[in-house]
Structure 1
Amino acid sequence: MKPEKYTMPQTPIIYLDAASTTPCSDEVIQEMLEFSKSTFGNPSSSHLMGRLARCAICESTSTIAKLLGCRTSELIFTSGATESNNIVILGSTKPHQGSNIIVCPIDHKSTLAAAEELERRNIEVRKMRVTSNGRVDIDHLSSLLDERSTLLSISYVNSEIGTFQNLKEIRLALNKNPHTLFHVDAAQALGKIPINLKKLGVDCASFSAHKIGGPKGIGILYASQSAISRLQPLTFGGGQSPLRSGTLPTQLIVGFGAAARRIQLQNNRDSWNAASQRRTAILEIFKAYKIPYLTNSPRFKSTPHILNITITGIQAETLISHLGHVCISSGSACNAHDLRPSHVITGIGHDMKRATSSIRLSFTSDTDIDLIRNGAEVICKTISALSQTSHRSN
């Protein structure tokens, strides 16, 4: 059977799913092209081509370390935040130790699925409670910690509703357990919230380049010097790093470095305000079209780049399938094959009906605001049409 060919629609695509992935900038593409085509040596090779590749990797690593406020020796390149999360969670403890780890029940599935694997290995997994706005219940978290807790893992910014956690408050709760590693999945935070890993007091952090205009297939695990010595590697081979072996993909790392440079040049406050204007513009159009909706992203304590709302009486997947050239989602892209309602929406206390009618619109601070307004209008018109069809059938 021949693979099905997909043709691009004639109508320009309106992309409102930046939390899933972002396009590479021209600068990123150009730098990657050089190291894919001409300077393509293996950075582990000692000849000239290899040394050129190694130099490019060192330069990119230095740029990323400066952006994150850490040492270059504490950065380990991975295929993305999913792999970084797995390295920390699966490598944090051993079955015979009688230890436990603590995770957040509304976090990304790469964290939760790795935790489930630990349970299959007879390691206890404890889940912290969250409030209705998606923030951690600190008192409950404190009650879960004991001398056998080897790891606490949480997303800095939730990928579905945009809630950000107070990491300094969580760090304080961990002070009585200095042996517990503190890991954050910061994939959705990079480029939205200023990050200085040393000031935040985290031991490990996961990042993906494609969330900030870099290429897919490359990420970073930050692991402090003390954390590196306490984690168990999952792969073995060339010894490119203490926790992850494998030939370093020069062109992808260079692309990550170029994307990091772009982030460094941004004014965080201006970017935040620009994203807030775009979020407001969407909601104003929904109100203008008199579309009934409920907001799942908290007004405060969430990044403005993610807007999660429930459309009353409309199934999210039905709406998405009728939008054509407008791209939105019903949650994390990594869960798209799973037809069950969002574990995030139910995890913050809403029922299954609300979860199945929830959509996520996400964008960058430089997404054209007129494009966003056009997309919101298409969504509203589609909702109105679906509602009329539903009324007629009833």
Structure 2
Amino acid sequence: MTEYVLIALALLGVLILGGIGLVVPRLRRRQEPPPPVDTRVPEPTAPPVEVPEGELSTGILVEPPPVVEAPAPTLEVPEPTAGRLVRLRSRLSRSQNAFGRGLLGLLSRDHLDEDAWEEIEDSLITADVGIDATREIVDRLRERTRVLGTRSATELRALLATELVTALDPGLDRSLRTTPKEGVPAVLLVVGVNGAGKTTTCGKIARVLVADGRSVTLGAADTFRAAAADQLQTWGGRVGAETVRGPEGADPASVAFDAVRRGIDAGTDTVLIDTAGRLQNKIGLMDELGKVKRVVEKHGPIDETLLVLDATTGQNGLEQARVFTEVVNVTGVVLTKLDGTAKGGIVIAVQRKLGIPVKLVGLGEGPDDLAPFEPTQFVDALLGTEPLARDA
């Protein structure tokens, strides 16, 4: 009996051990559950700082240099226009010295015969005074010297100076109309042939206006030459004047119209419009200049049309002035390069022929070498000696 019990216990032990052997491997193969997911929003971190390669070995961090803004360009202050012609007098007198001394030398002869008067006429004509004006001046001089019995050099110079000033018609209005009216700026149209220095002169006129206290908007209506718009913008930038320009080849009338509109919006005093150089025998180009005038006048009448003439062209300038006057009604002449010619009489010829006053004269290449024209000061420089003591 006891043996059966022992056998039964042995079998039971074997069964228990076998069951354990089957269960344990399965428990070992069971995968562990995945770790819980962290749902918290990570805090922002600063971006990594890039260190230049050359500094990695030393561990030294060098901060980049601070950004320094470029200083605003300093605006130029043009010289006051009052007294400019006096300051530039020496330049004019040097160029006209032979003319003035020649006339005074002829007039101071002991005996003024017909040959002497013919030489005086030739000197005036050579200086581009013009034939009609020359004959009138000489006739008046002959009469006054005969009646007054004038012989001294001082008296003769005074007589000659008086006649030249009279020929320049000092009563003509030489002021520039630059005052705005009823919220519309004054409009100045600048015209002239190629090669007269028109765009440069236009920039100098802007300086004259700024020097006289006017705010200016420039219109670069010479759209056929890209350099002209760049050049005008440079001139304007020096004195704080805005330049309105269009793409190369744009309609000049459209640019001129926009310039005036911009001047109205900005509240500037004066709009100065530079036009393309025109050859007086190119009818199509002259018609286009007339179109610029008509389009601009949709804003209001043009206050000034200034014709830029090169003094060295002499009598050819008269034909240029005549044609331009027919197209755009020129109100004043700007005579450039007067310091580079001995033919200052062209001032008289232009006014006598066309009745148009010379309002500004150029006497050098400097930015402020454009001066308001004053007949008495001009004649003083023309004759090349001290200021006159006029006879009553």
Question: Scaled by the length of structure 2, what TM-score is found?
Answer: 0.34
Select the structure that is richer in helix.
2
Q: Mark the structure with the bigger radius of gyration.
A: 2
Question: Scaled by the length of structure 1, what TM-score is found?
Answer: 0.34
